[in-house]
C-alpha cells in the first residue's frame, strides 16, 4: 500500500480549511468590486495597488497571499507585472490578480477588464481565454483527474490560435501557501484528489498589445467540481465605463 506523502495529505481540505479559503475569496471579491468604483482615467497602477492593500486591511484581512498584480494597457502582457507609474487610458486592458489569507489559508483570483468598449482583437482574445477555461472545467466536470490532461484541454485550444503563447501552467493547488501540490501543467504527473482546491487560469499575453488572464478557484468533488469564485467573468461584465 502506498504511503501518502505530506503534500498529498495537505492537498485535501477539511471543512474548516475550506471555510477559511472561501472567506478569503469573498473578501477578495469585495475588495475588487470596491476597487473598480475607484478606477478613473489618469489613475496609476501604483495608486490602485495602494488602494487594494488598504481595502484588504479595512476588511480585516491584511496578510495577502501575494503582492497584488495591477496592470494597465500593454503591461497586461507581462505575466508577473509589478505595478508602476503607468496611468490608465481609455481603451486600455486592465488586469487584477489578487488574493488574501484567513487563518493562514489563501485565496487567488484574476480578472481582466476593458476601460471602455474593447476593440475586435481585445474581444477575441478575451473570449478565447474564457473558452479555454470552460473547456478545462468541462473535462473536470466529466471526471478527468489527470493534471496534464486537464491542462491540455485549454492549451490545445489556445495553441491553435496563439502559437506558444500560453506560458504558464493552467492551475495549481491552493492552501496555506499560494502554490501547492498538485498542478495542471503540460508534463504534470499529478492525479488531482477529491477535496483539493485548485485554480484554473488560462492566459494569453501579446507583447506590445496586452494580455488576458481569467482565474477562478474550484473545489474538486467526487462528481466534478464546485466553483468557489462568485465574481462574474463573462465579456459583458468585463467592460467598464470610463470616467
**185-243 pLDDT, tens digit each:** 999 999 999 999 999 999 999 999 999 999 999 999 999 999 999 999 999 999 999 99
Closest CA to 96 of 63, 67, 71: 71
C-alpha 201/C-alpha 184 separation (Å) is: 10
Decide: 26 and 230 in contact? Cβ < 8 Å.
Answer: yes
Overall pTM > 0.85? yes
Cβ atoms of residues 41 and 47 within 8 Å: no
CA distances to 44, 66, 73, 121, 178 from 94, in Å:
11, 19, 6, 15, 23
pLDDT, residue 87, reads: 98
Structure-block grid coordinates of residue 68: 497584488
Instruction: Say yes or no: domain 6-240 is CATH 3.90.230.10.
Output: yes
Q: What is the pLDDT of residues 15-69, one digit of tens each?
A: 999 999 999 999 999 999 999 999 999 999 999 999 999 999 999 999 999 999 9
What are the domain boundaries of the chain?
6-240
Amino acid at each position: 500500500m502506498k504511503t501518502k506523502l505530506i503534500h498529498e495529505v495537505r492537498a485535501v481540505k477539511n471543512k474548516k480549511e475550506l471555510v477559511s479559503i472561501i472567506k478569503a475569496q469573498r473578501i477578495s471579491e469585495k475588495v475588487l468590486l470596491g476597487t473598480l468604483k475607484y478606477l478613473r482615467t489618469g489613475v496609476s497602477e501604483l495608486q490602485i495597488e495602494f488602494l487594494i492593500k488598504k481595502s484588504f486591511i479595512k476588511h480585516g484581512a491584511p496578510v495577502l497571499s501575494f503582492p497584488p498584480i495591477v496592470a494597465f494597457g500593454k503591461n497586461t502582457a507581462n505575466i508577473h507585472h509589478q505595478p508602476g507609474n503607468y496611468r490608465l487610458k481609455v481603451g486600455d486592458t486592465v488586469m487584477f490578480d489578487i488574493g488574501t489569507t484567513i487563518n493562514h489559508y489563501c485565496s487567488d483570483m484574476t480578472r481582466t477588464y476593458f476601460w471602455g468598449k474593447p476593440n475586435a482583437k481585445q474581444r477575441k482574445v478575451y473570449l478565447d481565454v474564457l473558452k479555454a477555461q470552460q473547456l478545462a472545467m468541462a473535462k473536470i466536470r466529466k471526471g478527468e483527474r489527470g493534471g496534464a490532461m486537464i491542462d491540455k484541454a485549454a492549451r490545445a485550444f489556445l495553441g491553435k490560435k496563439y502559437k506558444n503563447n500560453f506560458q504558464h501552467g493552467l492551475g495549481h493547488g491552493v492552501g496555506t501557501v499560494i502554490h501547492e501540490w498538485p498542478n495542471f501543467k503540460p508534463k504534470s504527473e499529478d492525479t488531482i484528489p477529491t477535496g483539493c482546491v485548485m485554480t484554473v487560469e488560462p492566459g494569453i499575453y501579446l507583447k506590445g498589445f496586452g494580455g488576458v488572464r481569467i482565474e477562478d478557484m474550484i473545489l474538486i468533488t467526487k462528481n466534478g467540481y464546485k466553483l468557489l469564485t462568485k465574481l462574474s467573468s463573462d465579456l459583458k461584465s468585463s467592460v467598464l465605463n470610463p470616467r
